[in-house]
Amino acid sequence: MKFERKADHIDICLNRDVNASRNHWEDIQLLHRALPEIDMGSIDTSVELFGKKLAAPVIISAITGGFDGAESINRNLAKAAAELGIGMGVGSQRPALEHPELASSYEVVKEYDVPLVIGNVGAPQLVEQKKRHAFGIDDCKRAMEMIDADILAIHLNFLQEIVQPEGDTNAAGCLEAMGKVAKQIPVLAKETGAGISRDMAQDLRMKGVKGIDVGGLGGTSFSAVEYHRAVGRNEETLSRLGETFWDWGIPTPLSILEADVGLPIIATGGLNTGLDVAKSISLGARAGGLSRKLLKPATESPEAVIKELEMIIAELKAAMFLVGASRIQALQDTPVIVTGHLSEWLNAMEPEE
């Protein structure tokens, strides 16, 4: 089966240790306000993102599509996203673009009224690779139509590609190719666990992308995911690469600060609670994205996904209450304290002067 790797990813993410060694959200604190002076019952978590109104600043980040079990996962996620009025991305649509018979595992999203739907293709697929031709604008449009997407995430996953046996490691020309796509359809540049630096964000903005999902370090490590696959295949060099680069990247909270170049930011990477979502917004993100936290419930039922997301939204509201923010805008203006390891990163990266 051609896309057994997609099923492997789900299995490994459910059953193995794929966490980055540190979850950097522990180093971010919000300042408690003893008398919040707002009514918790009147807190409004709604936010606008890419012209769509979301009931809460929460995105179900890309997980899957293109194999047998993927349809029910995407159905459960889409049903929950529609019910709660939040955004959702699908996993890479490459399997269905290359094998249209696999499209139904993505198309299922169209059956639900999800306020913001995010398509997904990989930057490596936009340029020629060893054994493959590049996807063009027509393929990107097909991906959008497949799920009635509002925006297309182009994922930047070269860390994963270097640890993958079948990895696409030609990155030359990707930025240019993304720029061409961005001229015709709305594009979200999305990392997958190694973060976006300021220079990278500026280059992406110049190419016309509409937003950035920083996909930073601190949660799912795709170097770790591919490490487990490489060990299973006795691929010594790839196992070694996976182990060495397990914690490679820019921590998500720091990447939010780095990638702030005037575009809406989605903060994905190691968010586990609504408090993490609140922290990400205080740092400058428009919404927080969660992927692996929702994977297990997504394999169970829509109710299980809804239950988890309702807890996340309850935690977000509690954090807003305790800092005295009745609107998302006010949460964005809330002071943030950076401690520990992350403050060392921050000091080291601050420009001299």
Ligand X SMILES: Cc1cc2nc3c(=O)[nH]c(=O)nc-3n(C[C@H](O)[C@H](O)[C@H](O)COP(=O)(O)O)c2cc1C
In whole angstroms, the minimum distance from the beta carbon of 289 to ligand X comes to 7
Closest residue to ligand X, judged by C-beta, is 219
Nearest to 284 by CA among 257, 311, 309, 261: 257
Q: For binding to ligand X (CB under 6 A), which residues are involved?
A: 9-10, 13, 61-64, 91-92, 120, 153, 155, 190, 192-193, 215, 219-220, 268-271, 290-293, 295
In whole angstroms, the minimum distance from the beta carbon of 6 to ligand X comes to 8
Got the DSSP string for 226-239? HHHHHHHTT-HHHH
| Residue 110 Rama label (left phi>0; alpha psi -120 to 50; beta) | alpha
In whole angstroms, the minimum distance from the beta carbon of 191 to ligand X comes to 7
**Closer residue to ligand X, CB minimum distance, 159 or 295:** 295
How many of the other CB atoms lie within 10 Å of CB of 40?
A: 12
In whole angstroms, the minimum distance from the beta carbon of 268 to ligand X comes to 4
Using the structure block, give the residue that is written with the tokens 């016309």.
Answer: 208
In whole angstroms, the minimum distance from the beta carbon of 87 to ligand X comes to 12
In whole angstroms, the minimum distance from the beta carbon of 129 to ligand X comes to 17
8-to-4, 61, 88 alpha-carbon distances in Å: 6, 18, 22
**Closer residue to ligand X, CB minimum distance, 164 or 326:** 164
- Is the separation of the CB atoms in 56 and 86 below 8 Å? yes
In whole angstroms, the minimum distance from the beta carbon of 176 to ligand X comes to 20
Show the tokens assigned to 318: 């509690």
327-to-162, 315, 333, 334, 350 alpha-carbon distances in Å: 42, 15, 10, 11, 30
Residue 136, C-beta contacts closer than 8 angstroms, at least 6 positions apart: none
- Is the separation of the CB atoms in 144 and 188 below 8 Å? no
The radius of gyration of the chain from alpha carbons, rounded to an integer in Å, stands at 19
